[in-house]
Amino acid sequence: MTVKRPHMVTRGYLQAWANNRNVLYLWDAESGRTGPQSINNATVHGHAYDTEHTTLDLEAEFGRIESDALPAIRSLAQGGQPNDDGRAAVVRFLDMHLERGRYADQTSVTTPFAKLDVFNGGVEMAEMGLGDRLALSRDIDKDAVRLSNFDLLRWRWRVGMSAEGLLLTGDGAVLLFERTKGTGVATITFPLSPTRLLVLGADLPPAPLRDLNAFTIAKSRRWLVDRADGVFARQMPQ
Q: What is the pLDDT of residues 202-216, one digit of tens each?
A: 998 877 777 899 999
CA distance 162 to 196: 6
pLDDT tens, residue by residue, 68-107: 999 999 999 999 999 999 999 999 999 999 999 988 887 7
pLDDT at 225 over 60: yes
pLDDT tens, residue by residue, 174-203: 999 998 888 899 999 999 999 999 999 999
Q: Residue 93: which of 190, 27, 163, 159 has the closest Cα? A: 190
CA distance 81 to 104: 31
CA distance 39 to 24: 6
> With bands split at pLDDT 50, 70 and 90, how would you rate the model's confidence at 236?
confident
pLDDT at 115 over 70: no
Sequence-ordered alpha helix ranges (H) in 80-221: 84-102, 130-140, 206-210, 212-219
Query: Nearest 10 degrees: CA dihedral of 142, 144, 146, 149?
Result: 50
Rg (alpha carbons) of the chain, rounded to whole number: 19
> What is the model's pTM?
0.86
Provide the mean pLDDT of the chain: 86
Alpha carbon distances (Å) from 224 to 78, 180, 233? 23, 28, 11
State mean pLDDT over 154-171: 88
